[in-house]
Each structure stands twice: as C-alpha cells, then as structure tokens.
C-alpha cells in the first residue's frame, strides 16, 4: 500500500457530517459496511448440532437442499442437488432438516425423522430468532444498522470513523470557523501504526497498486478495520463466520461483501469503484437482478458480459437514459448506480407492508372445509411469531388492519377473501381474533366461490392467511385496551347513574344532565344519554388514521373484501405474437412499474 499525499478534495464540513447520523450517508467521506453470514442456514445447523466448519452440512426442506455449507461445496454439492445426489457426492454429508409445524399443532420443533410435506409445514422461526440476536449484536456495535434480510445487514460506520480519525490525527481537531469553505489538510506522509495492519482485500486503483492519497482513503481503511473487529467479535460470541464489504454507498458495499467468500472482506476505495465494477454484470447489482436488469440491457442494446456497467457509464448521459428508458426516475437511479453514487440512507426500521403464511396441499389432504382448520392453527401461530419478530426489531409497535384468506383449487384458480382486522396490541388476543376471522372468511369464500366457472373449491392445492395494512399503534384506540377498561367504565357509569337519580329526585318530573347541564322532561333522558354515549364513542374512534376511516367507510358501504375474483384462470387464451414495437412498449411498461415500486 503506497502513501502518496495530495491536496485534499474534501472540506471540514464533509468530515463533520460523518458525525451526524442524518447527514453521514450523503457525505463524500461516507463509509458503509455490509455484513453477510456465510451459508447462514447451513452454518446455523452446524452450530446447533455441535459440528465443526470442516464438517459437510446441508440444510434440508423435504428432499431439496436450501443451504449448503462451504465444506460441503468442496465435494461439488450445490442447492440444485437432491438429498440422494448429495449423498452420492459425499457419503458423510450431514443433512439437517428445518424445524417443522405438524398439522393441527401450534408449536414448531425439530423432529428425529424425515417429515412428510402432506402433514408438515416448514418453520424458519429458529433462523429468524438467531437473526434477531445477531441484529441486537450489530446494533450494540454500531449506532445505525439496517436489516437487509435474515442473514445480512448494512451499517453506517460514520460516527465510529469520525471518532477514530479524531483520535489518530490530532491535526483534524481544530475546526475552522467556516468549515464549509475550508479544505482539509493533506494526509500525513506516514500512517499511524494502528492503520499499518490491513485486513482483507483492497481493490487496486491502477496497475495493481493500492494508493492512499486523501482522507476518503483513510476513512475506508478505518472502516475496514472496524469491519474486521465486528467479524472477530461475532465469531467469538456467536460462532458465525461472515463476509464483509466496505464502500461509500450500499451498492458498492454489498458487491464488495460478495466479492471474496467465505470468511473474507473487501474494501473499495472511491477511486477504485470504476475498476471494481468491471467484475460484475448489471444484473449483479442490488435491485437489478433478474428480469429488470435484463430488460434494461436489452432496451439499451448492451451486450451481456462485455463490461456492461462501464459501457453504460461511458456511453449514456442522464438525458440519453431518460430518453431510452422513458422513465426519469429509473434513468436517474441507473445513472447514479453505475457511477457508485447512488446514496441511500440507512433505514433503521423494517417497513413491513404484509406478511403471510401458506402451504401447498398434497393429494386430497384438503378435500373439504374441515380439513383446512388444522392448518389455520399453524398459519396463525406462524404469523404471530412474525409479529413478535417485528416487535423486537423496532421500538415502534405496528399492527395489521387487514386479514386475507386465499385458496387455490385443482383448476389452478386462486380466490381470496379479505376483512378489516382490529388494531390489537396483545399478541394472544391477535391470535384469538385471527382464528375467529379466518373461520368467517372461509365461510364467505365458500359462499361466493363460483364452482360453475372455476371448478369446485375442494380439493384445494394451496391456501394461506396474510396480514397487511400495517399501522403504528401510537394514537390508536386498541380493542384490547377497550376490553380491559370496560369494567372501569361500567363502574363510572353506575356512579354517574346514581348521581343523576339523586339530581332528578330534586327536580321532580324533570331531568338535569350532569354532563352538559341541560334540563329536560324525564321521558327524554334515555335518548339524551344515548347522544352523549355516541359522542364519546365518536371521539374514541376518531383516533384512527385517515386511511382507517376510509377503510371503515368502505366497509359500511358493503365492501368486506375482494369478491372472490380469480387471480389465474385454469385456461387462458394464447396471446397473439407481439411485434418488435409491442415488445419494446411492454418492456417500458414493466420498467415503469418497477421504478414506481422502488
């Protein structure tokens, strides 16, 4: 690593912004880390079973492999293998089946036999629980963490990098009066001993040389050291090996963590981003995988595998991308992405829109309504566990406002039924309410199912329950609190009634309302009390959000959910062959829809 000091391109304000959690990701000195647990499910099972990293372990779902340890990969085993082919490649392979729910039971467990899918459902709860432990560990290390999935997360290392820079470089401590217009001094000719020891792989800028010339390079070196410290502590406390990436934005950090695996880390200096991107296709980028990335390459007429990212960066301006993609938002996103400049804040809260639990039914195992009732127990406990996970991930409690039941028959027609779900804090009460409403939805779905058009509802091949329309609890009148407060309200009502009776005896045939002071004939008392009750109830209900009031109004108009509309017909007319222009328009529509979602 060569130290080549130069006049700095950064101001004191850029440095100070690292110490502000709201501005650090926008600073040109930003340092983002991405940590990924190597072959997470397989590694979890290896630790649970007391095995070593050298033992070949695969994680099993029925007869399919859903995770393969790196030790098992050395035998040529992949997730494309079945259990039988994996054993042919490595007779000593350890196959650990996921935990399962058994039909009719409301607890998951590991079993000492190979479970059958006809009466079992896979449970990923053990992996989610361990993931929550790791997230708490990461949040104890860094003040800004975003969960990307069950086995990976992003970290904004800004405050930690700022503190370390102030500690190692005293010349930075004297902040000028005008930090926005004052450039940082050049880096020193010699680095502190703490930074002389590097960890992992650093992407060279040119001619295979890693050159340190400005403070952004120093910030990345400190980020690399912090990443190594985090990985070492996690290995010691929880036993997991990880891969780690360091870059100035999320996109670069994620590609870096995937670059060297397993149990390695990669750091990308800002000036090395262009060279680093030459190792990847556009479809390797976060959010560009699959159909959307391929459609962009096809629309821009870029040959796959020919340094696609560099070609787009060098040959398309923002105006060009906007004209070709016909979507300004997607064009700007792509423009920034291929330059490593797509800055995004760290989202410290998971924004859940919906969650579901479903099951493919084998044979005639669900041939009548009664057969799915035992699966309702499984679906509901699965959803409640997911809600518990959501509670543990955030201080702000969120609850669903809708419950949906969906079923698919042998004609491959899926119909659903939805209802409003009351906002409830207590998870046990949610569980009871889910059971009550799922039975109601099943009955309604049976009544509206058009057997003549879609074929019989049973035997069913697939079914599930989903919660959606999540809202924060704060500001809502919750049904469980209303239930708990009911006895207190009754006592207050009895007390008020006693007072009112005393007052009415004093005034003879007339009645005086103690709440508003109005005097009226005793015959009007009941109607007047109903008025005050309705007013109090209205005040309680109006703690709902605007969206909830709309939902409530829709329900009053008679809309309790989807009217059993099929999402896929058994037989569909074969579409007419598209012209080249029609295909292009279809791609534009797909791209436009994707950009709006993202």
Dihedral angle sign, alpha carbons of residues 176, 181, 182, 187: positive
For residue 487, pLDDT beyond 80: no
pLDDT at 511: 59
Gyration radius of the chain's alpha carbons: 30
For residue 533, pLDDT beyond 90: no
Pairing mode, strands 402-409 and 460-468: antiparallel
Integer CA distances (angstroms), 401 to 50, 177, 381, 477, 478, in order: 43, 52, 18, 13, 11
For residue 404, pLDDT beyond 60: yes
Instruction: Kindly indicate the confidence band of residue 144, based on its pLDDT and cuts at 50, 70 and 90.
Output: very high
Peptide bond into 298 cis (omega under 30): no
* Percent of the chain surpassing pLDDT 70: 79
Per-residue pLDDT tens over the stretch 163-174: 999 999 999 999
Please state, in angstroms and rounded to a whole number, the distance separating the CA atoms of residues 65 and 71: 15
For residue 289, pLDDT beyond 70: yes
For residue 382, pLDDT beyond 90: yes
27 with 14: CB under 8 angstroms? Answer: yes
Give the chain's mean pLDDT.
85
185 with 166: CB under 8 angstroms? Answer: no
**How many CA atoms lie less than 13 Å away from 114 in the CB half-sphere?**
8
Pairing mode, strands 108-109 and 94-97: unpaired
Integer CA distances (angstroms), 485 to 25, 89, 359, 479, 481, in order: 46, 64, 39, 10, 6
Q: Which residue has the higher pLDDT, 189 or 571?
A: 189
The answer to which of 225-239, 436-450, 517-531 has the lowest mean pLDDT is 517-531
For residue 442, pLDDT beyond 90: yes
In this prediction, residues 108-118 reach a mean pLDDT of 93
Instruction: Kindly indicate the confidence band of residue 205, based on its pLDDT and cuts at 50, 70 and 90.
Output: confident
Long-range own/partner contacts, residues 390-398 (CB < 8 A, 24 or more apart): 390/350, 390/352, 392/132, 393/132, 393/135, 393/147, 393/349, 393/350, 394/349, 394/350, 396/349, 396/472, 396/473, 396/474, 397/425, 397/472, 397/473, 398/352, 398/470, 398/471, 398/472, 398/473
For residue 482, pLDDT beyond 70: no
Exposed/middle/buried for residue 582 (C-beta within 10 Å: 0-12, 13-18, 19+): exposed
Our measurement of the distance from residue 373's CA atom to the centroid of its chain's CA atoms, rounded to an integer in Å, reads 29
Q: Please report, to the nearest 10 degrees, the dihedral formed by the alpha carbons of residues 504, 507, 513, 519 taken in order.
A: 140
For residue 393, pLDDT beyond 90: no
Please state, in angstroms and rounded to a whole number, the distance separating the CA atoms of residues 301 and 324: 10
Pairing mode, strands 152-156 and 120-123: unpaired
For residue 58, pLDDT beyond 80: yes
Cβ-proximal residues to 79 (8 Å cutoff; 6+ apart), any chain: 64, 65, 66, 67, 68
In this prediction, residues 74-86 reach a mean pLDDT of 95
In this prediction, residues 50-67 reach a mean pLDDT of 95
Instruction: Kindly indicate the confidence band of residue 585, based on its pLDDT and cuts at 50, 70 and 90.
Output: low
Please state, in angstroms and rounded to a whole number, the distance separating the CA atoms of residues 190 and 173: 18
Cβ-proximal residues to 245 (8 Å cutoff; 6+ apart), any chain: 33, 34, 36, 252, 253, 254, 255, 256, 257, 258, 259, 265, 266, 267, 268
Per-residue pLDDT tens over the stretch 324-356: 999 999 999 999 999 999 999 998 766 788 999
Please state, in angstroms and rounded to a whole number, the distance separating the CA atoms of residues 199 and 194: 12
In this prediction, residues 532-552 reach a mean pLDDT of 45
For residue 89, pLDDT beyond 70: yes
pLDDT at 547: 39
**417: β partners:** 405
Q: Which residue has the higher pLDDT, 477 or 101?
A: 101
Q: Which residue has the higher pLDDT, 425 or 576?
A: 425
For residue 524, pLDDT beyond 60: yes
pLDDT at 287: 83
Instruction: Kindly indicate the confidence band of residue 475, based on its pLDDT and cuts at 50, 70 and 90.
Output: low
First vs last C-alpha separation in the chain: 39
């Amino acid at each position: 690593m060569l130290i080549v000091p130069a006049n700095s391109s950064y101001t004191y304000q850029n440095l100070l912004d690292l110490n502000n959690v709201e501005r650090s990701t926008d600073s040109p000195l930003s340092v983002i880390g991405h940590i990924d647990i190597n072959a997470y499910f397989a590694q979890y099972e290896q630790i649970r079973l007391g095995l070593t990293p050298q033992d070949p372990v695969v994680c099993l779902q029925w007869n399919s492999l859903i995770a393969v340890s790196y030790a098992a990969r050395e035998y040529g085993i992949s997730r494309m293998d079945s259990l039988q082919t994996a054993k042919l490649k490595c007779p000593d392979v350890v196959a650990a089946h996921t935990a399962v729910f058994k039909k009719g039971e409301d607890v998951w467990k590991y079993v000492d036999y190979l479970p059958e899918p006809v009466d079992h459902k896979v449970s990923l709860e053990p992996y989610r629980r361990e993931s929550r432990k790791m997230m708490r560990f990461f949040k104890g290390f860094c003040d800004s963490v975003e969960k990307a999935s069950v086995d990976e997360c992003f970290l904004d290392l800004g405050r930690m990098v700022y503190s370390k820079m102030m500690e190692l470089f005293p010349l930075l401590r004297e902040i000028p009066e005008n930090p926005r217009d004052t450039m940082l001094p050049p880096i020193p000719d010699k680095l502190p001993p703490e930074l002389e020891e590097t960890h992992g792989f650093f992407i060279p800028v040119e001619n295979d040389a890693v050159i340190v010339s400005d403070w952004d390079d120093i910030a990345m070196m400190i980020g690399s050291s912090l990443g190594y410290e985090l990985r070492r502590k996690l290995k010691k406390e929880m036993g997991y090996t990880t891969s780690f990436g360091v870059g100035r934005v999320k996109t670069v950090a994620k590609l870096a963590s995937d670059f060297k695996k397993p149990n390695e880390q990669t750091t990308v200096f800002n000036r090395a981003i262009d060279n680093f991107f030459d190792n990847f296709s556009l479809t390797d980028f976060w959010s560009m995988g699959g159909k959307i990335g391929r459609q962009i390459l096809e629309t821009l007429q870029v040959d796959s595998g020919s340094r696609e990212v560099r070609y787009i960066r060098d040959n398309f301006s923002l105006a060009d991308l906007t004209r070709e993609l016909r979507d300004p938002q997607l064009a700007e996103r792509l423009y920034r992405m291929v330059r490593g400049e797509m800055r995004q804040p760290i989202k410290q809260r998971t924004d859940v829109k919906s969650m579901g639990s479903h099951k493919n039914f084998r044979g005639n195992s669900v041939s009548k309504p009664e057969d799915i009732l035992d699966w309702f127990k499984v679906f509901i406990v699965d959803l409640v566990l997911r809600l518990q996970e959501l509670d543990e991930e955030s201080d702000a409690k969120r609850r669903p406002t809708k419950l949906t039941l969906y079923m698919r028959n042998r004609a491959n027609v899926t119909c659903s039924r939805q209802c409003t779900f009351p906002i409830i804090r207590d998870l046990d009460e949610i569980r009871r309410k889910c059971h009550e409403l799922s039975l109601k939805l099943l009955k309604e779905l049976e009544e509206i199912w058009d057997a003549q058009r879609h074929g019989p509802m049973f035997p069913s091949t697939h079914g599930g329950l989903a919660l959606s329309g999540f809202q924060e609890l704060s500001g809502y009148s919750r049904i469980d609190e209303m239930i708990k407060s009911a006895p207190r309200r009754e006592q207050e009502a009895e007390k008020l009634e006693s007072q009112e009776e005393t007052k009415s005896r004093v005034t003879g045939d007339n009645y005086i309302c103690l709440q508003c002071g109005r005097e009226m004939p005793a015959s009007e008392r009941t109607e007047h009390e109903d008025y005050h009750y309705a007013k109090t109830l209205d005040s309680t209900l109006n703690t709902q959000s605007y969206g909830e009031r709309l939902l409530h109004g829709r329900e009053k108009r008679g809309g309790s959910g989807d009217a059993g509309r099929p999402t896929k017909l058994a037989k569909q007319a074969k579409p007419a062959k598209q012209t080249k222009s029609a295909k292009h328009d279809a791609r534009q529509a797909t791209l436009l829809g994707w950009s709006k979602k993202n």
